[in-house]
Copies of this chain bind each other. A is one copy, B any other.
């Protein structure tokens, strides 16, 4: 039986966060001392670790709530329910990835295009590009590749 500080140490989640998860119905302390102190069983600990793992995998607390309700009654739930949740999350992650990759590419292009030196920014190509609404993709690509097959 662990106290909250011990569980905190064991899981790397703060006591605040553990109480927050409890308030939101994700976890619980099976026992309390007479004074009201939380005491966690091994089973509680495993549940908390499940939550942490799911969290690290990108699931929202809401997703995790669903996963947990499957977890406690696996017989009443199907693999499909689990994969539905997982696939939905993957779709979200992929969407974000696409967005970030586009940003990454733009930022790299911008950095390539600018001298980055101590001269004043009058002709800074980053500023120009942002002013031009980033049609610079083409400009810079042309400048950089000097012969690429533009669309």
Which residue numbers of A lie inside 8 Å of B, CB to CB?
Answer: 46, 49-50, 53-54, 56-58, 67, 70-71, 74-83, 86-87, 89-90, 93-94, 96-97, 100-101, 103-104, 106-108, 110-111, 114-122, 124, 126-127, 130-131, 133-134
Partner of A74, one of B74, B96, B122: B122
B111 x A86 contact (CB < 8 A): yes
Closest to A107 in B: B90
Work out how many copies of this chain go into the complex: 2
List of B residues within 8 angstroms of A56 by Cβ: 134
List of B residues within 8 angstroms of A118 by Cβ: 78-80
Known contacts A79-B114, A82-B121, A124-B79, A131 near B101 by CB under 8 Å: no
